[in-house]
Structure 1
Amino acid sequence: MSFLAQAPRALEYALIAVFCLLVFASTTIALLARRYPHKNWLELKLRIRTWWWIVVVFVLAISVNRTVSLLVLSFVSFLAFKEYLTLVPTRREDHMPLFWAYLAIPVQYFWIWDGWYGMFIIFIPVYIFLFLPMRMVLIGETRGFLHAASSLHWGLMTTVFSLSHMAYLLVLPTDATGSMKGNGPMLVLYLVALTQLNDVAQYLWGKALGKAKIIPKVSPNKTIAGFVGGAATTTLLGWLLGPVLTPMSPLYAATAGLLIGVTGFIGDVVMSGLKRDLGVKDTGDLLPGHGGILDRLDSLTYTAPLFFHYLRYLYY
């Protein structure tokens, strides 16, 4: 049975609202392009077209049965990790450690499918952290060892371990009555919607009021007004949507919104720091109008694990 078939009406209404927003955005851009044909609307058109694909994949990931949902999300982690490795230099000798690193992805998501929280939470931070350097030492090449080992593990932690917390929201255990304290797909929708809306809110507040730069050496377009306005907007949205999509009270939901607003900004600028260090503007070109998949998931690398543990501490 699919997740969507078991989901409350609120999830169906929320997904319908998302699709209505996309239809509105597509219609608006089409009308603007017709009204002002001399302006270049290509980037916005590409962004909205890509958002259609993102939303379709996201709905697939949270609407079908657990196995298919986790396969989709594990594939997202695979794409993110692969994109990361195209940016970070790797040693020619490390082809076998890279194989084991890739193999860690399906194993990590198997622990989620199995509901084995203990192994899920330590597999990459402990066992893979210890195993990969050992396998790299056996090659016998010490040149660039520290850089290679640390880069590989940071990539796994960011693109697989952090993002897999979003998947674990789908399999949170039931309470004594057998019903979930929070519907998994609705929890994922709450997390992803607030994270993405936080990015949009920061951009809009920064454009409208932003003058003072917050960390110009890392991300010159980020402003104090954008950060504060985005966090405040996400806190308000968290307060409004929390009681509808999650088991949280309004106070806890507002706190979750603030948490997502602040840490989403941090995830964004951390990835900006990585790109600036590597001398690239985007992490890839997989998503036309957006850049690479990491450009779209950067905030979630922070919000997913922190929201997960916040919610689990309160209700599970």
Structure 2
Amino acid sequence: MNFHPHALWALAGVFGILILATPAAHLIEKRRQLPTAGELTLRVRSWWIMVSLFSAAVLLGATVTTWLLGFISFLALKEYLSLIPTRRSDRRVLFWAYLTIPLQYYWAAIGWYGMFIIFIPVYALLVISARKVLIGETEDFLRSMGTIHWGLMMTVFSISHAAYLLALPEDVAPAGGVGLLIYLVLLTELNDVAQYVWGKRYGRRKVVPRVSPGKTWGGLIGGCATTLAVALASAPFLTPLNPIEAVGAGLIIGLSGFLGDVVISAVKRDIGIKDSGSLLPGHGGILDRVDSLTFTAPLFFHYLYYLYY
């Protein structure tokens, strides 16, 4: 994988934003301009760790980046399975669920699109269902298979689309596959931050109060507008998208990022928890951090794949 200077500049820009955000967060906390200012400072600290790990993996090459994303899928699936109600018979098939992770990311790494796109939706479903039946346990079979396979689709299949960007032909995008991955992750996480900040400052009317009371129309509109502007500005350097297509990508990532967030919020509300974990201070668990990516990664990938590959 050739590392284009545009990708380096994009990562440098993210670190520049963090350098500015660090004292700004402390100032906001000191002046109490936001009701959750302490949380904002914790979020910035966690961002330093996450951005540093992501940047290091990207600089080390496509293989390291792919397996980092695979490890994130592992942590997300593990966290999800630790939250949902499971029985002893369920645990006897979880080995097969975890086994899909290295296989799915291997298909992504070698660019085998046919196997990549059907492995979890078809083969993993059939194998895990058959293994479940062979145990001889039929009570709550549909509930058990539904929760396990839904978790695989969200935490492994969806997120693995981000890794497949690295396997796309290098000559199409100006910064290659790594530029596409940076574009996706940058816009997804920027959208989360922008919706959070706009919502805290100007949010009044709730979008889905019964699912996620903190989501407001002000946050959604402001976040999508911010994401769209950055998508348009950065597209010529990191993607093959023309201005109209870049606007489409910005809207897809802005809106689908919001939907991914509220879908995971619905799961947590169904289970009866606020955060999926405490791995990331200020962010909660790994599911709280990749919730938007579960929607943005496959939708952006297939949008791009349809247009150029």
- TM-score tier (shorter): over 0.9
Could you say which residue in structure 1 is the equivalent of 2:107? 111
The one-character-per-residue Cα deviations of 1:171-219 (angstroms, maximum 9, x if unpaired) are 1135xxxx34351111111111111111122223223332221111101
The separation in 2 between residues aligned to 1:273 and 1:298, in whole angstroms, is 11
If the length of structure 1 is used for normalisation, what is the TM-score?
Answer: 0.91
Are the aligned partners of 1:181 and 1:315 in contact in 2 as well (CA < 8 Å)? no
Are the aligned partners of 2:120 and 2:157 in contact in 1 as well (CA < 8 Å)? yes
- The alignment's C-alpha RMSD in Å is 1.9
Give the residue type in structure 1 aligned to 2:156.
V
Among 200, 213, 225, the residue aligned to 1:220: 213
Matches within 5 A, 1:75-154: 75-154=71-150
Among 48, 70, 81, the residue aligned to 1:74: 70
The separation in 2 between residues aligned to 1:172 and 1:261, in whole angstroms, is 23
Could you say which residue in structure 2 is the equivalent of 1:243? 236
Among 181, 190, 194, the residue aligned to 2:173: 181
Matches within 5 A, 1:51-62: 51-62=47-58
Are the aligned partners of 2:57 and 2:65 in contact in 1 as well (CA < 8 Å)? yes
Give the residue type in structure 2 aligned to 1:14.
A
Q: Percent identity?
A: 56
If the length of structure 2 is used for normalisation, what is the TM-score?
Answer: 0.93
The separation in 2 between residues aligned to 1:266 and 1:44, in whole angstroms, is 22
**Post-superposition offset of 1:93:** 1.4
Q: Runs in 1 of length 4+ with deviation above 6 angstroms?
A: 32-36
The separation in 1 between residues aligned to 2:180 and 2:49, in whole angstroms, is 21
Indicate the larger mover: 154-163 or 70-79: 70-79
Are the aligned partners of 2:169 and 2:177 in contact in 1 as well (CA < 8 Å)? no
Q: How many residues align?
A: 306
Could you say which residue in structure 2 is the equivalent of 1:157? 153
Among 45, 49, 53, the residue aligned to 2:41: 45
Query: Structure 1 residues 67 and 155 mapped into 2: Cα distance closer, same or farther (>3 Å)?
Result: same
Could you say which residue in structure 1 is the equivalent of 2:287? 294
**Post-superposition offset of 1:31:** 5.7
The separation in 2 between residues aligned to 1:25 and 1:137, in whole angstroms, is 53
**Structure 2 residues without counterparts, runs of 5 or longer:** none
Are the aligned partners of 1:46 and 1:288 in contact in 2 as well (CA < 8 Å)? yes
Query: Structure 1 residues 26 and 165 mapped into 2: Cα distance closer, same or farther (>3 Å)?
Result: same
Could you say which residue in structure 1 is the equivalent of 2:204? 211
Are the aligned partners of 1:61 and 1:73 in contact in 2 as well (CA < 8 Å)? no
The one-character-per-residue Cα deviations of 1:209-266 (angstroms, maximum 9, x if unpaired) are 3222111110111122222222222222211111121111111011100111111110
**Structure 1 residues without counterparts, runs of 5 or longer:** none
Could you say which residue in structure 1 is the equivalent of 2:6? 10
The separation in 2 between residues aligned to 1:181 and 1:204, in whole angstroms, is 31
Give the 3-state SS of the residue equivalent to 1:45 in structure 2.
helix
Give the residue type in structure 2 aligned to 1:181.
A
Give the residue type in structure 1 aligned to 2:121.
P
The separation in 2 between residues aligned to 1:266 and 1:85, in whole angstroms, is 21
